[in-house]
Amino acid sequence: MSAASDRAVRKALLQAQAELERIELAQRVGEMRNALSPGNLVQRIVPMGGSVGEGLLHRLGGQLLNNPALLSGAALFLRKGNALRLVKIVTAFLAMRKAWKAVRGARR
């Protein structure tokens, strides 16, 4: 093979490798965007599995212990006497969760 054909082959291989890297990067960006969506972030903080009666306090307590930021936030709310605000937020969250399940159930 001549030097010109070697360069052409090498150039084609580099272009193919660059295209594969671009495709992989696009896939990883899509996965990251999906992982950082608000729904997934909320689900990581408060798992939606199981019924409300099945150890809700146990799951929330576990999440508070595993996530120091949540524990600090809860302590801040309770220390400042804003327990009513926390109850309102939790109530709103549970209402939104119930509405979301109803919407998902209607789609099926």
Per-domain residue ranges of the chain:
1-36, 50-108
Could you tell me if 64 and 71 are in contact, meaning their C-beta atoms sit under 8 angstroms apart?
yes
Its pTM stands at 0.40
**Tens of each residue's pLDDT in the chain, 108 residues:** 688 899 999 999 999 999 999 999 999 988 888 877 777 766 666 655 555 555 666 676 666 667 777 767 777 767 766 666 777 777 788 888 888 888 887 776
Cβ density class 40-65: b for 16+ within 10 Å, e for less: eeeeeeeeeeeeeeeeeeeebeeebe
